[in-house]
Structure 1
Amino acid sequence: MLALWSISFVLLCSWRLSYAQYEHLGFAIAYQEPEQDLYTPPELPADTPRIQLRLAGEKRKHNEGRVEVFYEGEWGTVCDDDFTIHAAQVICRELGYFEAISWSPSSKYGKGEGRIWFDNVHCKGKEKSLAQCESNGIGVSDCKHSEDVGVVCSDKRIPGFKFVNTLTNNINSLNIQVEDVRIRPILASYRKRIPVTEGYVEVKDGGKWKQICDDEWTQMNSRVICGMFGFPGQKRYNTRVYKMFARRRKPSYWDYTINCTGKEAHLSSCTLGHTLSNSTCEEGTPVVVSCIPGRAFAPTPMTGYKKAFRQEQPLVRLRGGAVVGEGRVEVLKNGEWGTICDDNWNLLAATVVCRELGFGSAKEALSGGQLGQGMGPVHMNEVQCSGFEKSVTECSFNMEKDSEGCSHEEDAGVKCNVPAMGFQQRLRLSGGRNPFEGRVEVLVERNGSLVWGTVCGEGWTTMEAMVVCRQLGLGFASNAFQETWYWPGAVNADAVVMSGVRCAGTEMSLSHCLHHGEYLSCPKGGGRFAAGVSCSETAPDLVLNPQVVEQTTYLEDRPMFMLQCAYEENCLASTSSATPANSPRRLLRFSSQIHNNGQSDFRPKISRENWVWHDCHRHYHSMEVFTHYDLLSTNGTKVAEGHKASFCLEDSECDEGIEKRYECANFGEQGITVGCWDTYRHDIDCQWVDITDVKPGDYIFQIVINPNYEVAESDYTNNIVKCRCRYDGHRIWMYNCHIGGSFSAETEDTFPGLINNQVTHR
């Protein structure tokens, strides 16, 4: 009998892979961006001073930094006096970025050196060069470098941008400014591979793709290029075949060579080499790179892995990110996972983290707990890396005061460059009111051609929706829909092409999930019963406080006649049905304090008209299965009949400066605000485990919150608390309570048979 379930292989489509595919798509297929005017190089009046610009300093992404001006053979800065967003716009446009996002005064990116070339700058925003803006005059300033201005430019580059060099010498001081970069596969064997790992390095300048002369090209240059495209390392390649190809087809070279140190996260931070004479590469050939992909992205088993990856116990991990290669940085120290404080956190350190984890260089070094707050200790502060460390744990940091002055509000994070796998092109949302919602439509191969179709809505859950939102780069799932009659999708895509989808929630593509394969089974059909999703850029993250559980545990013998309400709600063991009214049940009682450390409020899945009234608690419960309480033997076997506790969700307390938004009284709105926590006290009915029938011994106590993944969270791995406990028949001791996954694998192994809330196939 043929197995119904199968894991499908990734469709290998020949999609054009360029740097643009590394940016998140701003609009879905039905929401195209407006066309932009083609760029024309500026023609400056003869009396305008010739300057060049760059973004320098302590960056957290490549398109931001301290504004530096090259004039008369010397780099200098710009003062923040009278500076406005209009001046920032002129600077960003001059550097080839589409627009300015913001600007920062008071040397946010560190103090510069040399002259302060511009002060009291007044721009209208339409000038072609900063030198055309009104100012005190070039070199006339009463500022100090503590007033150096910085800007943040958009990721998007100006279409058709062409680098214009106004200098006759000192060009090796200039950063590289081009519209786009790509690795173009040349050999037939690499054209069919996804991701593209080997080929010509080409830059787009003036709207045309051009090769780079390999004169003075180094492995450090290759390291930077591979890092930009999501690869942690590079390797040697067969030079003979590329020389033969270059002789057959005359290359079109860019006017300059390139110099990188290997520490750069992006080509724009490298400097120009020498100018090619007549745009020819006399004895050389076009630059070729051959990159080593991370294990998760490798098309086939490849050599060179041992050089690119650490095989032993990982010392670094990412948590709380919406997509692969993004998250809060956590490091393992003394057997316990902790976070990194964002003091001095920059692209250099972030790139070390990304490469260590099998990704490329860092797109952005995140600060301020932007991807949610961690738990446990802050292990590292003021991290300083050279850029060539194998692990961020090898970088220097504040040894004496690891976490003094740091809180989890300052947790550092990263966004890494990952290879372009073409996943976004095989999935779309159709019919929604905005690009973040709609009916799910997938591209599959049928009878030798690619067709769009729907996914069967039967059994569609939050886990599957999370994968869809991740695949499209739209963040987290906020809702999963089994019917989409209100979202009319493409008429020619109504047919069901995928059914029985079951995801673990961690896959990069919906095609990686378990599903029926070619043997479709969807009784209701597609159309109005097709699966749909709505996505959100943020998500909540619930974390149970283990110390509160440990500190509030005690035993109570309670007579059965006082437990009738709890008995009706199935909060007691099954043997309680035969217990006389005056006989006691022994209850293991404790408090639960559940924090929301995420980026958005935790709200119940069902609407308030479907909430259930509970006589025991005298309020409405918005989630019937919110927690699981279990007592297990040391080998993981249940020894006490745990139960599924329902909750009314409200803000019991909040961090300083945060206002409560949810309360259970008077049929109020339910949820847990970011920065607040919901406390279910030990003296509330059903806040216990019935251990009447448990014999004395050593056990493991386990609590799991949001166990059925009904509500999307940024991290499910921290939804479990485990404790060791000893029961002597009269007293109970609770100790070693901790969040699942907060300790090293060796420590977790001392809790055999336990789940650690890693999402698994259901």
Structure 2
Amino acid sequence: LSRVCPALPSSPQLGLVPAPPPSVILGLRLAGDKRKHNEGRVEVFYNSEWGTVCDDDFNIHAAQVVCRELGYVEAISWSPSSKYGKGQGPIWFDNLHCSGKERTLALCPSNGIGVSDCKHSEDVGVVCSDKRIPGFKFVNTLHNHVEDVRIRAILSSYRKRIPVTEGYVEVKDGGKWKQICNTEWTEFNSRVICGMFGFPGERKMFARRRKPTFWDFSVNCTGNEAHLSSCKLGHATLLKSNGTCAGGLPVVVSCVPGRTFAATPMMGFRKAFKPEQPLVRLRGGAFVGEGRVEVLKNGEWGTICDDNWNLLSATVVCRELGFGTAKEALSGGRLGQGMGPVHMNEVKCSGFEKSITDCLFNKEALGCSHEEDAAVRCNIPAMGFQERLRLSGGRNPYEGRVEVLVERNGSLVWGTVCSEGWGTMEAMVVCRQLGLGFASNAFQETWYWPGEVSADAVVMSGVRCSGTEMSLSHCLHHGDHLNCPKGGGRNAAGVSCSDTAPDLVLNPQVVEQTTYMEDRPMFMLQCAYEENCLTSTSGQTPANSYRRLLRFSSQIHNNGQADFRPKASRNSWVWHECHRHYHSMEVFTLYDLFSLNGTKVAEGHKASFCLEDSECDEGVEKRYECANFGEQGITVSCWDTYRHDIDCQWVDITDVKPGDYIFQIVINPNYEVPETDYSNNIVKCRCRYDGHRVWMYSCHNGKTTQ
């Protein structure tokens, strides 16, 4: 519950507008990316909407006012230029001039509330002292952090269940946990509490006994708030002399988990929240419950423009997918850019819709680009996965030998993971489980990271992950019957993690528009023959005969948040005399032709690639080129184009009979380089060949045929 105070009049200063009239009510909170409870982006609640404060003329005196209003002793510093991320909504204050003695930010002269020429890239943040003002009473406030609210299981036996879905609602006040009296509690309040803790639904439950310590206030939520801190405080609770609430019992909530977290025998759930098959999905996020929002329309996935994107709309997406409320509504393509159409713009939700497609929106997306793709971070249940895994011996918290906590002979012990078969997908799961983002490398040798001596023994082997699991224990593995003849000890599994990763996307329209057939004489294919770019029957083809080639262009975009760099180090690249440049990845793309029943009838043998920036979006400079042993890679917002007339940019269809086929391209097929999303690395097309001509149509990003 955010700080709410009436604004009082102030004497005007030259060029400034006095503070708002006494009738105006303002709220205040700290928000934003990776932060402690005493720091963050300054946000103001006015006219039923949260907004931000511009950094123009902001100084330490204004920061002092903010921190004291929130109950901290003083301000330590302030930060311009959206250090804590760009906010949402209006910029309520610009050119604030505080003396530092004002009781509230509302008393500081400014341009006038809502009068600003700033952008959210200028949102100001503050760092307050960790010390509280002695005797400060949160008459109209409650910290807006989940650590200050909890669901405590009623029965001790239920406290071992993960996640905790039902129990007393407790609020931390004055360093003590206190329960809330249920005399004015509503189902809307329960809806908000469950959403905060990552649950999309709630059901009725009643307490049966009284508790001695109650909070002094009731809560009044409308039900569409993303957090209890956004609800209004109700009346002061009437407490008896023994500390119990008069005529009431402690509030108890019972939450319904989403599909991802529900109904396994180990978790003991009997009922799970099961929404209909959603028409929305998240892509490009490092963790469960976050990503770029994509919606399905007319059989095609597209994105949402971030105009007016806010927590209400983001929360509808989160609940639709079986998560709780939204922690953040992200704009500006923060979690990578999508491909294809922008389906929705200026989305406006009440917060109670079952689907984002039920909200009001503008079908026209004029002026919107994928640089404005909207994204979300949802609240998810606390599963305790992070406590069962650690990295040891690394130079920083983002790298090290992987050590897992397992049960052996009735005791919990730490040990290592066998590195045989250890790769990118397994490393992705480790980094996700630890909250460290994406994998940047998977290591099969960790002798240079000594780790904990007590954890040297291998306790997990045969690990095989799909890359989407929330915990390493969810991946296939050998269980108690370990088998690790070569991958233990100095060769235990290790990882390095990163906050960002690339995301390669193949453009299906380019493939469809550039496909054609060529009959090429064998004497012009000597280099291609040496590199196995032709089928095996080409060895018996006379020099004056022809090979029939299905040719096309590939345009590979990097829509992620980090440059795509080859896994191999520069000194291990291979010089190809025919192509006159170094190849950095031996298997970067697969070209295959399948029958309609999935049988492979032809394949491309493009042996290797040289990665470079062919073209970039406006304002982005090229960084990689193949010439002169240059650095190889694909920069963010750039693309590498392999033209149809390049050697080996084809499939040899000399031996293919006329008919209907499926043509498929897969980039980074062995997952050698970590990406935010592998599902868009594939393009599939329908292909018709009559023996004389070829037609390529219905090209789209999709799952592999095999």
Q: Structures share a fold, TM > 0.5? A: yes
| Distance of 1:101 and 1:227 partners within structure 2 | 32
Q: How does 1:276-315 map to 2 (within 5 A)?
A: 276-278=237-239, 279-300=243-264, 302=269, 305=272, 308-311=273-276, 313-315=277-279
Deviation per CA, 1:227-246, whole angstroms, max 9, x where unpaired? 00000010123x3xx324x3
Paired residue for 1:318, among 266, 279, 282?
Answer: 282
Counterpart of 1:382 in structure 2 is 346
- Residue 214 of structure 2 corresponds to residue 253 of structure 1: yes
Q: Sort the Cα spacing of 1:636 and 1:99 in 2 relative to 1 into closer, same or farther, 3 A.
A: farther
Paired residue for 1:221, among 189, 198, 204?
Answer: 189
**For structure 2, which runs of at least 5 residues remain unmatched after alignment?**
1-18
| Distance of 2:289 and 2:505 partners within structure 1 | 22
Q: C-alpha displacement at 1:697, in angstroms? A: 1.3
Letter in 1 for 2:477: H
SS in 2 for 1:503: coil
Q: Sort the Cα spacing of 1:533 and 1:348 in 2 relative to 1 into closer, same or farther, 3 A.
A: same
**For structure 1, which runs of at least 5 residues remain unmatched after alignment?**
1-48, 124-128, 742-752, 756-762
Percent identity of the aligned residues? 74
Counterpart of 1:4 in structure 2 is none
Counterpart of 1:393 in structure 2 is 357
| Distance of 1:78 and 1:507 partners within structure 2 | 40
Paired residue for 1:55, among 17, 28, 39?
Answer: 28
Q: Sort the Cα spacing of 1:181 and 1:93 in 2 relative to 1 into closer, same or farther, 3 A.
A: farther
| Distance of 1:639 and 1:550 partners within structure 2 | 20
SS in 1 for 2:347: coil
Counterpart of 1:35 in structure 2 is none
Q: C-alpha displacement at 1:644, in angstroms? A: 5.1
| Distance of 2:63 and 2:126 partners within structure 1 | 11
Counterpart of 2:705 in structure 1 is 754
Counterpart of 1:131 in structure 2 is 103
Counterpart of 1:335 in structure 2 is 299
Most deviating of 592-601 and 640-649: 640-649
Q: C-alpha displacement at 1:436, in angstroms? A: 0.5
Q: C-alpha displacement at 1:427, in angstroms? A: 0.3
Residue 98 of structure 2 contacts residue 108 of structure 2 at CA under 8 Å; is this kept in 1? no
- Residue 115 of structure 2 corresponds to residue 146 of structure 1: yes
Counterpart of 1:83 in structure 2 is 58
| Distance of 1:521 and 1:666 partners within structure 2 | 47
Q: C-alpha displacement at 1:388, in angstroms? A: 0.2
| Distance of 2:91 and 2:353 partners within structure 1 | 26
Letter in 1 for 2:311: L
Residue 29 of structure 2 contacts residue 144 of structure 2 at CA under 8 Å; is this kept in 1? no
Counterpart of 2:153 in structure 1 is 185
Letter in 2 for 1:54: G
Q: C-alpha displacement at 1:674, in angstroms? A: 0.3
- Residue 369 of structure 2 corresponds to residue 417 of structure 1: no
Q: Sort the Cα spacing of 1:176 and 1:564 in 2 relative to 1 into closer, same or farther, 3 A.
A: closer
Residue 179 of structure 2 contacts residue 215 of structure 2 at CA under 8 Å; is this kept in 1? yes
Q: C-alpha displacement at 1:189, in angstroms? A: 4.4
Q: How does 1:632-651 map to 2 (within 5 A)?
A: 632-643=594-605, 645-651=607-613
Letter in 2 for 1:347: L
| Distance of 1:642 and 1:605 partners within structure 2 | 22
Q: C-alpha displacement at 1:457, in angstroms? A: 1.4
| Distance of 1:526 and 1:89 partners within structure 2 | 55
Q: C-alpha displacement at 1:180, in angstroms? A: 1.0
| Distance of 1:670 and 1:644 partners within structure 2 | 18
- Residue 580 of structure 2 corresponds to residue 623 of structure 1: no
| Distance of 1:76 and 1:193 partners within structure 2 | 39
Q: C-alpha displacement at 1:103, in angstroms? A: 5.9
Q: Number of paired residues?
A: 664
Residue 60 of structure 1 contacts residue 365 of structure 1 at CA under 8 Å; is this kept in 2? no
Q: How does 1:359-374 map to 2 (within 5 A)?
A: 359-374=323-338
- Residue 71 of structure 2 corresponds to residue 110 of structure 1: no
Q: Sort the Cα spacing of 1:463 and 1:155 in 2 relative to 1 into closer, same or farther, 3 A.
A: farther
Q: Sort the Cα spacing of 1:192 and 1:621 in 2 relative to 1 into closer, same or farther, 3 A.
A: same
SS in 1 for 2:90: coil
Q: C-alpha displacement at 1:110, in angstroms? A: 2.2
Counterpart of 1:592 in structure 2 is 554
Residue 497 of structure 1 contacts residue 520 of structure 1 at CA under 8 Å; is this kept in 2? yes
Counterpart of 1:126 in structure 2 is none
Q: C-alpha displacement at 1:754, in angstroms? A: 1.9
Q: Sort the Cα spacing of 1:362 and 1:76 in 2 relative to 1 into closer, same or farther, 3 A.
A: closer
| Distance of 1:310 and 1:266 partners within structure 2 | 22
Q: C-alpha displacement at 1:667, in angstroms? A: 0.9
SS in 2 for 1:576: helix
Q: Sort the Cα spacing of 1:163 and 1:740 in 2 relative to 1 into closer, same or farther, 3 A.
A: farther
Q: Sort the Cα spacing of 1:280 and 1:424 in 2 relative to 1 into closer, same or farther, 3 A.
A: same
| Distance of 1:675 and 1:369 partners within structure 2 | 11
| Distance of 2:187 and 2:135 partners within structure 1 | 25
| Distance of 2:594 and 2:54 partners within structure 1 | 65
| Distance of 1:99 and 1:425 partners within structure 2 | 33
Counterpart of 1:275 in structure 2 is 236
SS in 1 for 2:678: coil
Deviation per CA, 1:377-412, whole angstroms, max 9, x where unpaired? 00000000000000010000013x2x1110000000
Q: C-alpha displacement at 1:276, in angstroms? A: 2.5
Residue 99 of structure 1 contacts residue 153 of structure 1 at CA under 8 Å; is this kept in 2? no
- Residue 398 of structure 2 corresponds to residue 436 of structure 1: yes
Q: Sort the Cα spacing of 1:110 and 1:57 in 2 relative to 1 into closer, same or farther, 3 A.
A: farther
TM-score normalized by structure 1?
A: 0.81
Q: C-alpha displacement at 1:595, in angstroms? A: 0.6
Q: C-alpha displacement at 1:145, in angstroms? A: 3.1
Q: C-alpha displacement at 1:204, in angstroms? A: 1.3
| Distance of 1:185 and 1:161 partners within structure 2 | 32
Residue 622 of structure 1 contacts residue 649 of structure 1 at CA under 8 Å; is this kept in 2? yes
| Distance of 2:111 and 2:286 partners within structure 1 | 46
Q: Sort the Cα spacing of 1:154 and 1:303 in 2 relative to 1 into closer, same or farther, 3 A.
A: farther
Paired residue for 1:550, among 512, 515, 521?
Answer: 512
| Distance of 2:648 and 2:51 partners within structure 1 | 68
| Distance of 1:527 and 1:598 partners within structure 2 | 36
| Distance of 1:512 and 1:484 partners within structure 2 | 23
Paired residue for 1:540, among 494, 502, 507?
Answer: 502
Between the two structures, name the one with larger relative contact order (CA 8 Å, sep ≥ 6): 1
Residue 53 of structure 2 contacts residue 91 of structure 2 at CA under 8 Å; is this kept in 1? no
Letter in 2 for 1:724: R
Q: Sort the Cα spacing of 1:89 and 1:430 in 2 relative to 1 into closer, same or farther, 3 A.
A: farther
Counterpart of 2:208 in structure 1 is 243
| Distance of 1:310 and 1:231 partners within structure 2 | 12
Residue 585 of structure 2 contacts residue 608 of structure 2 at CA under 8 Å; is this kept in 1? yes
Counterpart of 1:713 in structure 2 is 675
Q: Sort the Cα spacing of 1:425 and 1:153 in 2 relative to 1 into closer, same or farther, 3 A.
A: farther
Residue 161 of structure 1 contacts residue 207 of structure 1 at CA under 8 Å; is this kept in 2? no
SS in 2 for 1:707: coil
Residue 426 of structure 1 contacts residue 443 of structure 1 at CA under 8 Å; is this kept in 2? yes
| Distance of 2:550 and 2:301 partners within structure 1 | 29
| Distance of 1:235 and 1:184 partners within structure 2 | 16
Most deviating of 321-330 and 143-152: 143-152
| Distance of 1:117 and 1:163 partners within structure 2 | 32
Q: Sort the Cα spacing of 1:287 and 1:422 in 2 relative to 1 into closer, same or farther, 3 A.
A: same
Q: C-alpha displacement at 1:583, in angstroms? A: 1.1
SS in 2 for 1:231: coil
Residue 725 of structure 1 contacts residue 732 of structure 1 at CA under 8 Å; is this kept in 2? yes
Counterpart of 1:524 in structure 2 is 486
Residue 672 of structure 1 contacts residue 678 of structure 1 at CA under 8 Å; is this kept in 2? yes
Deviation per CA, 1:473-511, whole angstroms, max 9, x where unpaired? 100000000001111101111110011111000000000
Residue 184 of structure 1 contacts residue 198 of structure 1 at CA under 8 Å; is this kept in 2? yes
